[in-house]
Amino acid sequence: MKKTLILSVFLLLALSCGTSRKMQRIREQGLSASLNLSQGEQEEERRSIRMGTRDTLTVKDEEGNDLIIMKAVRDEQTGEMVAADVIDAAVITARFRNIAERLGQIDIRFDIRVPASMQDSKWQLRLSPHLYVLADSLELPGVIVTGADYRKEQLRGYQQYERYLRSIITDSTRFVDWRNLNIWIERNLAHKPSFGTEEQEALLHYTRKMLKRYHQRKWNERDKAFAQYVRAPLLEGVRLDTVLKDSNGDLVYEYLQTIRTRPKLKKVDVVLSGAIYQEDRRLYTMPRTAPVSFYVGSLSDLSDGTERYVTRVIERRATSHTSCRLAFRPGKADIDLKLEDNLLQMNAIRAQFKEVEQSGRFEMDSVVVRAWASPEGTVEGNRSLSQRRAAAVADHFQRFLNHYRDSVTQSTFSVKVGENGAETVEAPSARSARFLWRGEGENWALLGGLVRSDTLLSPSARQSYEALEHLPVLQRKSALRKAAYYPHLREALYPRLRVVSFDFFLSRKGMVKDTIHTTEPDTLYRRAVQCLRERDYPAALELLRPYKDFNTALAYLAMDYNASARQILEGLERSPQVNYLLALVNARAQDEAAAVQCFLDAVRQDRSLLFRGNLDPEIHVLIERYGLNQENY
């Protein structure tokens, strides 16, 4: 018995010594979990490079001769490319990687490696990767490696806490002394009128208040109890919380984080930091690792920023219409400025004349004056009356315009539109406008409209008027005179029928041709290219769709609408960029021969596209698979 005790104490000491010695070693060596580019991703990439549809491709060179391209690998000794079926896996320890942005997102993949010497059953490793994007830093969800004993301790705390919670009575009905309450109700409420005591009051009285308070306090103090029982709570918002059963070698976790790209994003750095915990104590803080960098390539970098222009057509001829209501005495045609608001109306028309004259851009070719009469009296009489009214008004304004021109002719200059659409200023010409006048007779059309919109008339009156409209004018007039609503028409509507209208026929000064085409920057297109650069592809595509040019094709490609992109690209002139995008379309369509052909064409035209190719995974695979980064192509 004694021996067993001594032995167990010794074992315990030895064990704790082991843990602390391990910690000491970690501190001395400054150990840290390491951060690497994702091996899995590199392996996938190598596999996809090896897997081609064909071993050899035949493409055309610049002179149109056949060129045979085969899967190749660089020979270790000679440095020359040799045909190879299998490329052996080699561990690449590069600290950077090119990644492509697709649909506005990038996938960041990296490995976190925890060495065996940092693992212990009693410990928890908390690792947190940090992302540096432009000027921002972003903490990614952590990775946690938990020792089995550590987790056991954690869960024991949770169990204790759960027992604590279970012991709390939350059902308030369990505090009620039902037996006494029921007797009391039976005795005092069931058969006899009460002494004014309600059931609710009785329920309160027969509730065991002390017990209730006790459980309420337990419930309120549950956070304190949690802290007491659970010394090291399970962490939330982490990517991985894994439990180590027994430590056998290094632990590797492949971390994948998708982030939205933003304009000007070229590089993303990832750094790992972390610490070792025992219970709730921090034992050791790991030094930060060196960064792993991701260079972000985006199709939007290829966008064409050339300004686009739109054509605008200028017409020589222009018209302007205005009408006013001049009041005339019944049967008279002379303009009486004292009548109703004639002065106001006349001033408005004069202002209109002055505006056309002063604008300088237009010349008044002719003015058509039309006048109407209300339908009292005979049709013929009204026709001649309306003609006399139109003539009087035309005469009045002809004299007004001549007088006005005389008064300003020395002081104004006019703007003249040349053949090419440019405008020049020149002295005024003294062309006089022609005044045409016409008497339109009785204004039945306007009367119909006024009656239909007159809410003072009853619906039946409106209907009866509509029936009259189909009659010949003479019959209509006599029927109308008999109608009950005739006085209203005559009083309220007839004066409004005596109107005069003006149509101005204008032309641009100095312009001989009927239309001129001029150009101005297309702001819509400019905005679309802006959207493309900011990687807002749906918005860019929406705006670019009608243009069907290189940028439209680029937007289609960015949205993965490859068939639409191909349709546009095949109709464009084969610039290096067009060839490059065609290579991308063909690569996505698994047509390797066409893809390689287009890519080599593009590279021949513009050498820099060879380096660009490495940024697009589809092209990068082709370059690696067929060794396309050779001088001889």
Partner 1 sequence: MLKRFLLLICLVSSLPLCAQRYALGTNAVDWLSLGTLNAEASVAAGRRVTFHAGVELNPWTFHAGDPDRQLQMRQNSWWGGVRYWPWHVYSGWWVGTDLRYSVYNGGGVLSRESEEGDAYGMGLYGGYSIMLSSLWNLDLGVGAWGGWKKYTRYSCPLCGVKQEQGEKAFWIPDARIAVQFIF
Interface with partner 1 (CB under 8 A):
180, 183-184, 186-188, 190, 192-197, 205
How many angstroms separate the CA atoms of 559 and 103, rounded? 6
Name the residue nearer to partner 1 (CB basis): 183 or 337.
183
Q: How far is the CB of 191 from partner 1 (least distance, A)?
A: 9
Q: How far is the CB of 199 from partner 1 (least distance, A)?
A: 12
Name the residue nearer to partner 1 (CB basis): 184 or 465.
184
User: What amino acid is encoded at 241 in this protein?
Assistant: D
State the sign of the Cα–Cα–Cα–Cα dihedral 187, 192, 197, 198: positive
How many angstroms separate the CA atoms of 147 and 247, rounded? 9
Q: How far is the CB of 216 from partner 1 (least distance, A)?
A: 23
| Beta-bridge partner residues of 243 | 146
Instruction: Check: CB of residue 181 under 8 Å from CB of residue 208.
Output: no
How many angstroms separate the CA atoms of 615 and 550, rounded? 20
Q: Is 535 left (phi over 0), alpha (psi -120 to 50) or beta?
A: left
How many angstroms separate the CA atoms of 189 and 587, rounded? 88
How many angstroms separate the CA atoms of 324 and 396, rounded? 15
Name the residue nearer to partner 1 (CB basis): 202 or 600.
202
Rg (CA), the chain: 46
Instruction: Check: CB of residue 507 under 8 Å from CB of residue 365.
Output: yes
Enter the tokens of residue 372: 């109407």
Angstrom distances, CA of residue 244 to CA of 121, 440, 587: 7, 101, 44
Q: How far is the CB of 182 from partner 1 (least distance, A)?
A: 9
Name the residue nearer to partner 1 (CB basis): 205 or 354.
205
How many angstroms separate the CA atoms of 216 and 203, rounded? 18
How many angstroms separate the CA atoms of 412 and 358, rounded? 8
Name the residue nearer to partner 1 (CB basis): 3 or 192.
192
Name the residue nearer to partner 1 (CB basis): 187 or 526.
187
Q: How far is the CB of 181 from partner 1 (least distance, A)?
A: 10
Q: How far is the CB of 200 from partner 1 (least distance, A)?
A: 14
Q: Residue 622's CB: how many other CB atoms inside 10 A?
A: 26
Q: How far is the CB of 175 from partner 1 (least distance, A)?
A: 17
Q: How far is the CB of 169 from partner 1 (least distance, A)?
A: 24
Q: How far is the CB of 151 from partner 1 (least distance, A)?
A: 54
How many angstroms separate the CA atoms of 100 and 616, rounded? 6
State the sign of the Cα–Cα–Cα–Cα dihedral 560, 561, 563, 565: negative
Please identify which residue in the block is written with the tokens 């303009």. Answer: 335
Q: How far is the CB of 213 from partner 1 (least distance, A)?
A: 19
Name the residue nearer to partner 1 (CB basis): 192 or 224.
192
Name the residue nearer to partner 1 (CB basis): 184 or 255.
184
Name the residue nearer to partner 1 (CB basis): 203 or 468.
203
Name the residue nearer to partner 1 (CB basis): 196 or 249.
196
Q: How far is the CB of 212 from partner 1 (least distance, A)?
A: 17
Closest of 11, 127, 588 to residue 3, by C-alpha: 11
How many angstroms separate the CA atoms of 299 and 612, rounded? 10
Name the residue nearer to partner 1 (CB basis): 189 or 415.
189
How many angstroms separate the CA atoms of 434 and 604, rounded? 69
Enter the tokens of residue 359: 């604008």
Q: How far is the CB of 203 from partner 1 (least distance, A)?
A: 13
Instruction: Check: CB of residue 553 under 8 Å from CB of residue 561.
Output: no
Q: Is 468 left (phi over 0), alpha (psi -120 to 50) or beta?
A: alpha
Residues 484-520, buried b or exposed e (16+ Cβ, 10 A)? ebeebbeeebbeebbbbbbebbbbbbbbeeeebeeee
How many angstroms separate the CA atoms of 75 and 627, rounded? 12
Q: How far is the CB of 228 from partner 1 (least distance, A)?
A: 39
Q: Residue 145's CB: how many other CB atoms inside 10 A?
A: 25
Name the residue nearer to partner 1 (CB basis): 211 or 422.
211
Name the residue nearer to partner 1 (CB basis): 188 or 384.
188
Q: How far is the CB of 197 from partner 1 (least distance, A)?
A: 6
3-class DSSP assignment, residue 574: coil
